[in-house]
Amino acid sequence: MSDGASPLESVFTYAAPALKFGRGAATEVGYDVRGWGARRALVVTDPDVAAAGHAETVADSLRAHGIEVVVYDRARVEPTDASLIDAVDFARAESGRAGIDAVVAVGGGSSIDTGKAVALLLTNPGDLMDYINAPVGKARAPERPVLPLAAVPTTTGTGSESTTICVLDVLSLKVKTGISHPALRPRLAVVDPSLSATQPAGVIAAAGMDIACHALESYTARWFADQPAKTAEQRVPYCGSNPISDVWSERALGLLAGAFRAAVRREPGDPAAPADPAAADAMALAATFAGLGFGNAGVHVPHANAYPIAGRVRDFRPADYPGQEPMVPHGMAVGLTAPEAFRFTFDAAPQRHLRAARLLAGATDASAAADGPDLLPTVLVDLMRDIGLPNGLAAVGYGAGDVDDLVAGALQQQRLLATAPKDVTAEDLAGVVGASLELW
């Protein structure tokens, strides 16, 4: 925050991958990767995405353009240091054998983040921990160009295809952290809504809350010019809300207003059949737009809270997610404290909170609520109830006795909290988390 004496910032930056969007786009990846001069590409994916055939669609496109393909299909949902090291070891062995000159990640944010780590470590020396953000790792900057990465998302949420960060759990420290560097941004995002059309309703609901929070947090992030001036060397990819991220955030909220509830609805009697297939395309576009926004503005309190909410899960198992391990899906973890977080940040930027609420409400009943700190929380709770999200932190297994622990975890995310539109104390977070135990 500015001390009033320092000069204020006058510059913002914007970067994004090239984008190819539309049904069928995934069958064209080979053309683009071939245009980079690639001859042997590593496809990074996870077992479920591979089983759905999406990785093979992409591999076929690569082969059709004369590119030899190696597939790594063990990307872990919620990557860990161990899972990333496994991927890097595999990639380095293959690279040593016959060379790899491009990485193509096919999957959710986890596969794309795994692809980022691989692309980084295939051309740069050292090991994973050298590049992980301090204080957990050494925050080393890549000294050589990172391999070009094409990201093909198969879920509509994370926005990882647009961002410069790779998120992981360091198992020995029980901490969620990341690698963050502009060189990690994918060169190309291929968003093919036909790949995400078969997501179950529970996944759409959680991932969609991630989209909504990307847009809402970017839009309410501290304005770039309300921060102290930086030198070129001090700039980070996340520069706060700015005239360009605002455009994407507003558009994403408008798309969500029209499509989110419809995307979750199933045909009567057939829980596998989306009632409104066109809504899936709009959600894919919303995810892309929100990613383009938060990939440059940043996110704040709800995302900071999400780290410990996901990380300290006990035995909650969400509907519609594969696997037997307890988990709070990322988008659900982000969404559960969002209403209270935005009630807390309201006074720092009232007009932005109100406009965001109006955009997200669309023509729903919640749009009739009165202007004020309660409007955005009302709109969010109304949405969360409609799409079937749990009614607060208690519904995923946390109690009043966990608040201090969750707050301690959120406070470790200072990089995110600094993006909030106002200073955030432990007491502030305790208020937000405590009020999020039960939302309606």
Interface with a copy of itself includes 24 (CB under 8 A)? yes
**Contact, 131 vs 168, CB < 8 A?**
no
- Measured CA to CA, the distance from residue 109 to residue 158 in angstroms comes to 5
Nearest CB to a copy of itself, comparing residues 233 and 270? 233
Interface with a copy of itself includes 25 (CB under 8 A)? yes
Nearest CB to a copy of itself, comparing residues 27 and 412? 27
**Residue 2 CB, nearest distance to a copy of itself (Å)?**
16
Q: Which two tokens stand for residue 171?
A: 């198992």
Q: Which two tokens stand for residue 233?
A: 């060397």
Residues touching a copy of itself, count (CB under 8 A): 32
Residues 6+ apart with CB under 8 A from 116: 105, 149, 160, 165, 166, 179, 184, 186
**Residue 7 CB, nearest distance to a copy of itself (Å)?**
10
Say which amino acid occupies 195: L
- Measured CA to CA, the distance from residue 367 to residue 330 in angstroms comes to 27
Question: Pick from 2, 28, 369, 430: which binds a copy of itself (CB under 8 A)?
Answer: 28
**Residue 288 CB, nearest distance to a copy of itself (Å)?**
9
Q: Which stretch binds a copy of itself (CB under 8 A): 17-25, 121-129, 160-168, 391-399?
A: 17-25
Q: Which stretch binds a copy of itself (CB under 8 A): 29-37, 66-74, 212-220, 358-366?
A: 29-37
Site string for a copy of itself, 271-290 (x = CB under 8 A): --------------x---x-
Give whole-number Cα distances, 28 to 56, 186, 345, 437, in Å. 13, 17, 43, 46
Site string for a copy of itself, 140-179 (x = CB under 8 A): -----x----------------------------------
Q: Which stretch binds a copy of itself (CB under 8 A): 23-31, 44-52, 210-218, 340-348?
A: 23-31
- Measured CA to CA, the distance from residue 379 to residue 117 in angstroms comes to 37
- CB-based burial of residue 10 (10 Å sphere; 0-12 exposed, 13-18 middle, 19+ buried)? exposed
Question: Pick from 3, 4, 10, 427: which binds a copy of itself (CB under 8 A)?
Answer: 10
Residue 340 CA neighbour count, 13 Å, CB half: 20
- Measured CA to CA, the distance from residue 439 to residue 51 in angstroms comes to 37
- Measured CA to CA, the distance from residue 252 to residue 297 in angstroms comes to 14
Interface with a copy of itself includes 21 (CB under 8 A)? yes
Interface with a copy of itself includes 39 (CB under 8 A)? no
Q: Which residues in 195-254 contact a copy of itself (CB under 8 A)?
A: 231-233, 243-244, 247-248, 251
- Measured CA to CA, the distance from residue 229 to residue 237 in angstroms comes to 15
Question: Pick from 1, 6, 11, 385: which binds a copy of itself (CB under 8 A)?
Answer: 11
Catalog residues that contact a copy of itself under the rule CB under 8 A.
9-16, 18-25, 28, 30-32, 37, 145, 231-233, 243-244, 247-248, 251, 285, 289
